[in-house]
Structure 1
Amino acid sequence: MAIMEERRKKILEEVLKNGTVTVHDLSQKFNVSYETIRKDLNYLAEKDQLVKSHGGAISNQNSIENPFTLKREENIDRKQSIAKKALSLIPNGASIILGTGSTVYELAKLLVLRNNLKIITDLIPAVSYLQSSNNEVYFLGGKLRPKSSSVYGSWTEEALDQINVDISFIGSDGFHGFFGPTTPSYSDSAIERKMIFHSEKSYILADSTKFERKSLYEITDWKNVTGVITNNDLKERFIKRLSKHTKVILDNFKDE
């Protein structure tokens, strides 16, 4: 019994870390049968700790909000590929807003290689990374929200009301069942809605696993978003559905 409980705990850790897992990989990792893994996934799904998918499982973003330090380790290769694509859309001398999100953080890390940009953000790790760059970097003040490593509140909103930028980049926890990008935080949704409103163009950065996840609060309608940058292994049905409302931009991700 103790061995089974420990295995299920480690399976959940794998799901939270990677965002998605397969029965095949878990079977090899824990040296047990496919049937044993399926029983484990059924048990965890019944406890609402993950969501079963075809051939595996994905993390249940709706039931728990993972801290930023854990989120940034999920699907890291996918996020880095999306960040590279987003970087290619930023012209020299542009003014940009970076919202919250671990994929946005990956973009911030690449912006160290650029210069002469005006970068505005509420994401604390992004500011820490960008302080060594040759860009003008502005941090939006406000009340600290540790879960997302960002700030929010009236100070943040008042600062956003005084600016207009060329492009904003916003993360999302999922789209399933909504008419736009979502976040688990009501306060984050208010801030990111304003970021989009005060931008000439706005892009949602989200890896392809987010299309089968859902969160709590809708940030805005797809009609207010310039495009979604995601992985090129996105299922065709999602591309067709989303393309009716906004532009879908695929990266060059290669699943090794």
Structure 2
Amino acid sequence: MSRDARWKALLELLVERGRLDVEEAAAELEVSAATIRRDLDGLAEQQMLVRTRGGAVVHGVSYELPLRYKTARHASEKQRIARAVADLIAPGEAVGLTGGTTTTEVARALAARGDLATGAPALTVVTNALNIANELAVRPQFKIVVTGGVARAQSYELVGPLADGVLGRITLDVAVLGVGAFDVAHGAAAHDEAEAAVNRMLCERAERVVVAADSSKLGRRAFAGICATAAVGTLVTDTTADPGTVRRFEEAGLRVIVA
């Protein structure tokens, strides 16, 4: 197992359990305790966890994995969700994409659509995510608009008042939200208030709003609110979503697509 793979695995275990023991982690990943100690020391240097005697604990009360370590989580589900979201977007539309692993997959699914391979432009994509802009900017069929702002290392998203200046002057056909949590009663939310503020503006500038969220995000709450459930027209999730949760979203008036 490579170091990057071990780091991803360790961070995911830490998020799930809140605390890691060196010996237990070594047995689970089938590597030596010395290797785990070096890995935890390296992650602590990047301020992604707090080292303790014999292990590690999460860094702070509200822990959020940086984007580069989230990519393997629910990967197949996110790809199916992304393809279903991409199918909702018509050629010629202006699309807002927030940052996140699921919306990154949406960008890739749009790039793979044959009917969007031509046109001038086939789509206008507005995003505050540097990684999404980077992937799509090389595709001439897409007009890419980047919001501006200050880059947030955890998500590659641009946030702050500089983004407001761009978003206040545009209109969108659809905004696709990647969220930290989506609950019927409390709406869509993110872990960071600056990200939530930009995402909220994207919603306000769009004719319709789509939430792309795997089942692990549903029925949960996060710190910073993005929008009320009533502001969302469509939820796209995966087949492991709880049927009762899906039904509650449908009863709230949302179209739910299970991919």
TM-score range, shorter chain: 0.7 to 0.9
Q: Return the offset for 1:148.
A: 1.3
* 1:159 partnered with 2:127: no
1:227–1:248 CA contact under 8 A, matched in 2: yes
- The residue correspondences of 1:68-107 to structure 2 (distance < 5 A) are 68-107=67-106
* Long gaps (5+) in structure 2: 1-6, 18-23, 30-48, 50-57
Normalised to the residue count of structure 1, the TM-score between the two structures is 0.74
- Partner amino acid for 2:186? F
Q: Return the offset for 1:14.
A: 4.5
1:127–1:137 CA contact under 8 A, matched in 2: yes
* 1:122 partnered with 2:128: yes
Q: Name the residue aligned to 2:180.
A: 173
CA distance in structure 1 between the partners assigned to 2:96 and 2:111 by the alignment: 15
Q: Return the offset for 1:178.
A: 5.2
1:175–1:213 CA contact under 8 A, matched in 2: yes
- The residue correspondences of 1:154-233 to structure 2 (distance < 5 A) are 154-175=161-182, 179-233=186-240
Cα displacement string for residues 210-248 of structure 1 (whole angstroms, at most 9, x for unaligned residues): 125432111110011111110122111101211222424
Aligned length: 211
1:181–1:219 CA contact under 8 A, matched in 2: yes
Q: Return the offset for 1:251.
A: 3.4
Change over 3 Å in CA distance of 1:16–1:197 after alignment to 2? farther
Q: CA RMSD in A?
A: 3.0
Identity of aligned residues (%): 22
- Partner amino acid for 2:83? K
Q: Return the offset for 1:13.
A: 3.7
Normalised to the residue count of structure 2, the TM-score between the two structures is 0.73
Which moves more between the two structures, 85-94 or 112-121? 112-121
Change over 3 Å in CA distance of 1:69–1:152 after alignment to 2? same
Q: Return the offset for 1:177.
A: 8.4
Cα displacement string for residues 113-141 of structure 1 (whole angstroms, at most 9, x for unaligned residues): 33410111011110111022121111111
Which moves more between the two structures, 149-158 or 177-186? 177-186
Change over 3 Å in CA distance of 1:86–1:177 after alignment to 2? closer
Cα displacement string for residues 46-80 of structure 1 (whole angstroms, at most 9, x for unaligned residues): xxx9xxxxxxxxx9x97301101112221111100
